[in-house]
Amino acid sequence: MDGGPVNVRDFERLAAERLEQGPFDYFAGGAGDEVTLRENDVAWGRWRLRPRVLRDLGAVSTATEVLGRPVELPVLVAPVAYQRMAHPEAEAGMAAAAAAAGTVMCLSTLSTTRPTEVAAAAPNGRHWFQLYPFRDEGVTRALMEEAIDAGFEAVVVTADAPPGGNRERDRRNRFTLPPQLGTPSLTAATGGEGALSIEETFALMNHSLTWEDIADLAGECDVPVFVKGILTAADAELAIAHGAAGVVVSNHGGRQLDRSVPTADALPEVVEAVAGRVPVLVDGGIRRGVDVATAIALGAAAVLVGRPVLWGLAAAGRQGVEEVLGMLREELELTLALCGCARPAELSHEHVRRASVTSVYSV
């Protein structure tokens, strides 16, 4: 690419050049007709910013707090499975880049790197663990304990899977994981020896998860528990009632239920229901610093990004991730300044409104 990438989407094009079709589509694809995948992106463009002017903006900072601790950037690294399939540096490189950016990395249950290795790669970083509960409670407990013992400070329970969504790109590609690609923590927890396929992994998960299970996990866990996959006020209320320390507005990146509501549309409803009792995070379709600013103005404490940092990893390992996070930081800092805000905490609902008419710039 002449001149190098200038925004996050450029990194997606670089990743497409470097990855084989099967792995690229596994990461890039959504469910069904991919309506939600596309609308996650488009929905942020249906909001407009209302800047304030003549503010003292001698110093603008992107720093804020998440779970009562500082982060330099309100953009967290979302859990993404099988990162070694994108680049040999895998989750260790991702964690090191997140730490360098001063933000949190959330490690997937389906990580190709163990939590202790991630912690060693970024000893000064902040790490959370995304959890798929399994039918065997001993497996679930072993996964949580390994992460917590490695210093991970929160558990993020995914509530919108299993079952897995209708991933038609994978079916067309007859995609299977490379035989040498393993998930070592999960293999150890299940007492297995070889790598598990995607189908074998989903078969082991708890398909009967309920809110009572969330309450049990939250009650037993020594660190805060978030529930990821919330799209309605009713489920946000239930999450808090069952012990969640925070919620993540998410539709799994459009990979589960196609035509589910875009996260930018669901966020205001959830924020209103939560009413400041716990942090609200959001993911899905965030590609610009202006998207981050919009989410925070709508009440999110921070956002998570998955595909953007994965494209950075695929393109250039840790350095690529750092560049992606750096781009989002620069864009957010500029957006804050142009909105008349010196820091993310100064953004509020007064800074945003829905576009009054359909615009060519919102598609």
Catalytic residues: 252
Look up tokens 């924020």; give the residue. 271
Q: Is the backbone peptide bond immediately before 179 cis, with ω within 30 degrees of 0?
A: no
Cα separation, 261 vs 212, whole angstroms: 25
Q: What SS3 string covers 336-348?
A: HHHHCCCCHHHCC
Residues 16-47 as b/e (b if ≥16 CB within 10 A, e otherwise) read eeebeebbbbbbbbbbbebebbebbbebbbbb
Q: For the chain, what's the residue count?
A: 363
Residue 203 has a CB neighbour count (10 Å cut-off) of 13
The C-alpha angle 169, 175, 178, rounded to 5 degrees, equals: 145
Cα dihedral sign, 343-349-350-352: positive
Residue 357 has a CB neighbour count (10 Å cut-off) of 5
Residue 70: what residue type?
P
